[in-house]
Amino acid sequence: MYPGYRPRPRRRWLRWILAYCGAVLAVAVIGLVVEAAMSPGPSPSQTFSPAVPTPPWASGARPAAGSSPSPKPAASPSPPLDGPLAVIQGRELVNGVYLGFPHSTAGAVSAADDVVSEVFSTLDPDRAAAVMRLTAAPSYADAPQQAARGAASDRRALGIPASGPVPAGYSLLVQPVEYQATDVTADGVTVLLLCDFTSTQPGTGTQTRVAVFPVRVRWSQGDWKVKFFGTSGDASLAAEPFSAQAASLGWQELLPQETASASD
């Protein structure tokens, strides 16, 4: 297991406690979100950088919600998802990252849930790069370098050095709580994740914001891999999780992980 790896809690009561703390300390908030300028191919100008208050993903890479990435998409890998989804745990754990998700829409959502939680919750550039080396599609060759730059940018935004041990009291935590699956084909799914984005630092305390993280995954090398991350247009889908507004926008609940069977 990767040094410093922390299992992700899925505790809904913690979200409400953190949200209350965020309201009390809102004046001093640094709303940290990672900007992922990711596209299907590498580009020297692409980078992660922090922004406020939801992820304004650069380079309009993701197709608009409801559109298809090609005129005649292939058949869906499984029936359309409708309702709460129990997140499937990958069959293999490598350096704290789950791999080996089933070739289904539920498997695609589960893979996206895991990679978003891992890569955007770390302040360790080496850790961020390691996650993307394991989870990026072959066409996304620059993903590890971008992830490392993103973690370094987040550190600077928090006022700590871009490298080295993370000082006590500083952390980021991204927890997907609801999802949407769009542009579904046999080998590709656009997954939208409605997340609690929590930052903690001495003096400011703990702040929780709502963030929308879009990610396009494709079936490659026997697993779901990240093809690119989406754009800021999805910020219009931000809503308080589990609220009537969230439901009206199409969000569905993510339930705690279950173990994927070998037959999936």
What per-residue confidence (pLDDT) applies to 82? 79
pLDDT score of 36: 36
**Contacts for 98 with CB less than 8 Å, ≥ 6 apart:** 89, 90, 92, 111, 114
Give 165-233 as a DSSP string.
Answer: SPPTT-EEEEEEEEEEEEEEETTEEEEEEEEEEEEEETTTEEEEEEEEEEEEEEEETTEEEEEEE--GG
| Tokens 């498997």, located at residue | 107
Contact in structure between 62 and 214 (CB atoms under 8 Å): yes
Distances (CA, A) of 45 to 58, 138, 226: 11, 19, 19
Which stretches of the chain drop beneath a pLDDT of 50? 1-6, 9-74, 260-264
- The backbone torsions φ and ψ at residue 251, rounded to the nearest 5 degrees and listed phi first, read -75, 140
The DSSP letter of residue 162 is S
The span from the CA of 171 to the CA of 107, in Å, is 28
Residue 80 three-state SS:
coil
DSSP structural state of residue 26: G
Question: How big is the chain, counted in residues?
Answer: 264
Instruction: Give me the pLDDT at residue 39, please.
Output: 37
pLDDT of residue 231: 64
Cβ neighbours, 10 Å, residue 45: 7
Query: Which pLDDT score is estimated for 21?
Result: 40
Specify the pTM: 0.72
pLDDT in tens, 52-77: 333 333 333 333 333 334 434 445 55
Cβ atoms of 119 and 98 closer than 8 Å: no
For the chain, how many helices (H) and strands (E)? 5, 10
Q: CB under 8 Å to 51, separation ≥6 — which residues?
A: 33, 34, 35
User: What's 5's DSSP letter?
Assistant: -
Integer angstrom CA distances of residue 63 from 76, 232, 244: 17, 12, 26
